[in-house]
Structure formats: structure tokens, C-alpha cells
Amino acid sequence: MQLFKEDRLNECLGEYMSAKRDYYEILGIQRNSSASEIKNAFRSLARKYHPDKNQGDAESEIKFKEVQEAYAILSDANEKRKYDTYGHNRPGGSPFGSGGFEGVNISIEDLFGGGFESVFGSIFGSGGRSRRTKRQRGSDLLVRHTVTFQAVMDGSKESIEFEVLKTCKNCNGLGSPEPDGVRECPACDGRGRIQRIEKVGPFTQQVVTDCSSCRGEGRIVHDPCTICKGEGRSNESKKVEFSVPPGVENGTRLRMSGFGESAKSESGDPGHLYIEINIDEHEWFERDGSDLLMAIPLSYTDLVLGTTIEVPHLDGELLKIKVPAGSKPGQTILLKGRGLPSQRSRSGRGSVMVLLKLDLPSKISRGLKKKLLEIRDEISYSDDELRDKISEEARSRRRG
């Protein structure tokens, strides 16, 4: 009885090696099936043919390995793309190495508990070409762009042009105009990484490094593309349009997903483009969040008698500043709701804070000097008044 089982197993293995079935047929799915449909089909068939449920059944064992191999290929985006293009005769040979797919040890608990993802995450790292569990992504780019101060009030539509590494259009990222121009790296057998054992004292450790022959790519281009020189990527000039929101802060970085460099890996995702916003200085305004600060130099008579100042403003309406009679240098006037848009509130705006400054002329005419001398006694303090003013100022300063 045991001999019959072994003969039958060898027979099934021979049939399997001579004519490999289509992976989609094995899983019973369509070629346009989603990742979740592929996963569900695998779990269902793996439970059905699992050796723990079919002990001694040679055909179930063969089918179980078929299901594992089909899922290992179709669940990897890069391997699936190559299989869809070339079938079993993919360039570079089997991704499982010369030994072929030997299967992995999956328990019933793995299938029902959802732990099989981590099991298949290591398939390509142990048999043939090593795969990183995380998809490679292209490098991010940072571009600085300057906008006017007016854009902070109104927002603006902007555009920039920049150079970026993108998938070469001449070779579609392959590095060679023909598929035959790329071969598997013989130094690392297409893994992209080299494993070696190092001895440290009485202990040994396994060290994994990028293959120096292929720079970790797992392949060598012997017929390079004339445009990208075999890199698979070339510089392109890109123009991007984007919106600057009202109330934007200086140094804000706007992210545009997918506009960065293309990944070196064929299956990788492009990086992001970050646009750092720099804001031009305004002629007289300073900024504090959504508030605007400005100073107005006034003459002595304007402070004593009061006045109204009108200046152009960012919102298109004149900014009217009423200076009360008897104002003092250093006092401030607050104009609520005339500042910049607040990013915390869509409808709210900050305030404009106006600092009053006494502006003394460096030179005066003879006529003005004569008039000032005539009224000097009227506007000056006596000795007693001056001492009282000094004491009052000191008390005010201490209370403050």
C-alpha cells in the first residue's frame, strides 16, 4: 500500500513538471481578478487541499503545491505583470531559482487566522530572487516657490516647471529597448542581495548586503537604452499647476502625491513633490499669524489734536485709521476683522494692529523754529509739573 502511494506521488510529480497549468486556472479566477479575489481563492483552495485534512492523498498534496505557487506569483504585482506578459517562459527564468517552487509550511491556523500573508512575504527571499516586503518608492522632491504677499489675502493659482527623473519612455523603464537586453545578475542569481556567513569569535552570523555587481537590482543591462543609459529613468521637464490657499503660512509645504521621482523598481511607486511656499515681504505690513502689524509715524500736532489716516489695504478697501486727540507715542489702535484670512476659520479674519510713533523732523525751517520758540512756554512743563509727571510715569510703569 505504501509503495502504491509513492508510485502515485512520483507519477503526479512527473505530470506536473511536464505541463504546468495556467495559474489563473489553478485558482479558478479571471485574469482581471482583484487582489482580494486572488487572496480569497487561495485561502479557499489551500484549506481544501491542505495535507492536514488530506493525509496520505498524493493528488491533494500536488494540488496544494500548485495553489501555493500560483498565489505566490499572482499576489506579487511585479511577478504577476511578468506572468501576464510572458506566461511561464518569463525572462530570467523562474523566480524560485533552479530548484523550482518547493512550497512552504502553512498550517491550518495560518489559513483560518489570516497569518499566511507573512508566510508568503518571505517566499522570494528564500528560494530565488529576494523581494522587499515593502514596495519601493521613488525619491521625494522639494521645490521652493515664492508668492506675493497679496496671495496670502486672496489665495492664488500658481505653476512651476522642474526637472525630475521619470520612467524612460524609450525603454519603458526596462533599461534596454528589448527584453533580451536585460539578464539576471549571475553574481546574486537575481536576488539583488548577497548572503554570507561571518564568524565573530566563537559565534557565526549571517550578513546580507546589496550585490555590488548589479547594485542591488538583481539584473544586468548588457544592451542599454541610448536615452537613459540603462538606468530605466531619464530627466524630464514637468510643469505643475497648484493652488495656494488664503492665509497660507511662510514655509508651508504643499504635497503633490506621485509627482516625485519614479522608483528604480519597475513595480515601485513614484515619490511625492513638496512645494515649499515662501512669501514676499510687504511694503509696510508685518505678519503675526492672521494679524497684520504696522507703524504710523505721526507729528506732535497729529498726536495732540488727533487725525485720520487712510492707506491702501490688501482687501481692496482703504484702511481708515482714526487717531484720537491726545494720543501718545507707543499706543496701539486695533482694527478687528481687517487682517488676513484665518486658516482655523474659513470665514474669520485677523486684526490690523497700528502702532503710533512720534516722528520728529531732523531739520526745521527758520520760520518754524521761530514759531516754536514763541509757544515753547505754553507747551512746556514747569519744574513742579515736570516732577509730578516723572512720578506719575514711574507709578504707571510699576503697575504695568
pLDDT at 254 over 50: yes
Q: Across the chain, what does the average pLDDT equal?
A: 81
In this predicted structure, what is the pLDDT of residue 14? 47
pLDDT at 298 over 60: yes
Contact 149, 282 (CB under 8 A): yes
pLDDT mean over 184-202:
77
pTM above 0.85, yes or no: no
In this predicted structure, what is the pLDDT of residue 274? 94
Q: Could you read off the pLDDT of 302-312 as tens digits, one per residue?
A: 999 999 999 99
What DSSP state is assigned to residue 164? E
Residues 6+ apart with CB under 8 A from 23: 69, 70, 73, 74, 83
In this predicted structure, what is the pLDDT of residue 193? 82
Whole-angstrom distance, CA of residue 273 vs CA of residue 285: 31
The CA distances from residue 293 to 287, 288, 297, 332, in Å, are 6, 7, 14, 10
pLDDT mean over 115-143:
58
Whole-angstrom distance, CA of residue 46 vs CA of residue 286: 68
In this predicted structure, what is the pLDDT of residue 50? 80
Q: Could you read off the pLDDT of 34-91 as tens digits, one per residue?
A: 888 898 888 888 888 887 777 778 888 888 888 888 888 888 888 888 888 778 776 5
How does DSSP assign 224-249, residue by residue? --TTTTTSSEEEEEEEEEEEEPTTPP
Label residue 72 exposed, middle or buried (CB < 10 Å: 0-12, 13-18, 19+).
Answer: buried
Whole-angstrom distance, CA of residue 119 vs CA of residue 208: 20
In this predicted structure, what is the pLDDT of residue 132? 40
Percent residues over pLDDT 70 in the chain: 80
β pairing state of 332-335 and 352-358: antiparallel
267 vs 325 pLDDT, higher one: 325
Quote the cell numbers at residue 309: 489716516
Residues 6+ apart with CB under 8 A from 90: 82, 83
How confident is residue 1, by pLDDT bands cut at 50, 70 and 90? very low
In this predicted structure, what is the pLDDT of residue 276? 94
In this predicted structure, what is the pLDDT of residue 314? 94
